[in-house]
A = this chain, B = another copy of it.
Amino acid sequence: MGEFDLIARYFTRPVRRNPLGVGDDCALLQPAPGMQLAVSTDLLVEGRHFLSTVDPERLGHKALAVNLSDLAACGAQPLAFTLSLSLPQVDERWLAGFARGLFALADTHACELVGGDTTRGPLCINITVFGEVPAGQALLRSGARAGDDLWVSGTLGDARLALEAFRGTVSLPQDVFEAARRRLEQPQPRVALGLALRGLATAAIDLSDGLAGDLGHVLRASRVGAAIEGTAAAGLFAAGRGGFRLPEAQVQDLVFAGGDDYELAFTAPAGRRAGVEAAAMRAGAPVTRIGRVRAEPGLVVVDAQGVARPVDPAGFDHFGGP
């Protein structure tokens, strides 16, 4: 217990939002009148979600970032989080770095640690995050309507590109690798954009598993389909914007099945284009219109010649990795 009390000390800070502070049996939270509490939880396991060699400061950032990204996708304002941490041993250098990265991002979003649990075991990190959203205004997956525009924030594919470089299936110039690695290890959750899209977007999701898969959740929940313009999608590939070239099939893999992008994909009525663009500008988040929601189920990509091909999830594997 003694050394795990020590761990707890790294995560004990003055608390404003929870009237108890960390350390009673429960944390107490009280959403403002008329507000709902948005709750999301993510479990990160060493070897599966991060490499054992990752900088602990970046890991602390990412563990919270992936949760804040879920709040962003619901248009919720971050409030608080709990942290459960299982560690093989107490490594003070590691803990200090992890706490630094975690709290730097938490402070950016005024999101407070209100409780948690630490134990000895395999390296696992579970964060549960709480946000506030006016009742009935959360952005859901189920609101997309035929005719809506389909939008994506930022750029896609860099995180997967870095992963492929770590795996040795692609060789990258140093500057491309460093930029891609930052995207993989320090994703920036689109919290401001999620808030700005309340009342504008009809549906939203954050892109953690890849555009094709995550968009599929929206389309199924909304009982619609979508057509994506291939050229617009290819233009989302971040490293490509910097002039780095890859075979077209690999760019498609990165954009449609990249994963770990933590951008938002969302839908909005065509009549709200100016509103969406103004909201994105206010939020400091570039957005790109990449297609259209349609009544026919399924996801298709339309090429420059206007030919629509269904997106086949099994078709994304042009790196030949392990």
Residues of A within 8 A of B (CB): 1, 20, 23-31, 33, 35-43, 45-49, 70-71, 73-74, 76, 82, 84-86, 114-122, 124, 126, 128, 130-131, 133, 135, 138, 140-142, 204-206, 209, 213, 217, 221
Report the bound CA distance from A217 to B8 in whole Å. 14
Rounded to whole Å, the gap between the CB of A264 and the closest CB of chain B is 10
**Cβ-neighbour of A74 out of B25, B29, B121, B205 (below 8 A):** B25
Q: Flag if B36 contacts A30 (CB, 8 Å).
A: yes
Asked whether A119 and B43 contact (CB < 8 A) given A26-B76, A140-B24, A141-B25, the answer is yes
Known: A29-B36, A140-B20. A48 touches B120 (CB 8 A): yes
In the bound complex, what is the Cα–Cα distance between A133 and B26 (angstroms)?
Answer: 11
Say whether A128 contacts B82, CB under 8 Å.
yes
Q: List 14 A-B contacts (CB under 8 A).
A: A23-B141, A25-B71, A26-B38, A26-B70, A26-B71, A26-B76, A28-B74, A29-B36, A33-B33, A41-B82, A43-B86, A43-B118, A43-B126, A121-B124
Contact check, B120 vs A28: say whether CB atoms are below 8 A apart. no
Interface centre among A30, A71, A213, by most chain B C-beta atoms within 10 angstroms, is: A30
- CB-CB under 8 A from A47, the residues of chain B are 121
Residues on B with C-beta less than 8 A from A46 are 121
Give the residue of B43, B49, B138, B209 whose beta carbon is less than 8 angstroms from that of A28: B138
Given contact pairs A27-B38, A42-B84, A46-B121, a sample of 16 additional A-B residue pairs in the complex whose CB atoms are under 8 Å apart: A25-B204, A25-B205, A25-B206, A26-B40, A27-B39, A41-B115, A42-B117, A43-B117, A43-B124, A45-B120, A45-B122, A45-B124, A49-B119, A117-B126, A124-B126, A126-B126
Q: Which 5 A-B pairs have the closest CB atoms?
A: A45-B121, A43-B84, A26-B38, A25-B73, A126-B126
Q: Which secondary structure dominates chain A's binding surface?
A: strand
- State in angstroms the CA–CA spacing of A46 and B119 once bound together: 11
* A119 lies within 8 A of B45 (CB): yes
> For residue A38, which residues in chain B have a CB less than 8 angstroms away from its CB?
26-28
How far does the alpha carbon of A147 sit from the alpha carbon of B131 in the complex, in Å? 41
Output the least CB separation between A210 and chain B (Å). 10
What is the CA–CA distance of A86 and B47 in the complex, to the nearest angstrom? Answer: 12
> Are A39 and B26 neighbours in the complex by a CB distance under 8 Å?
yes
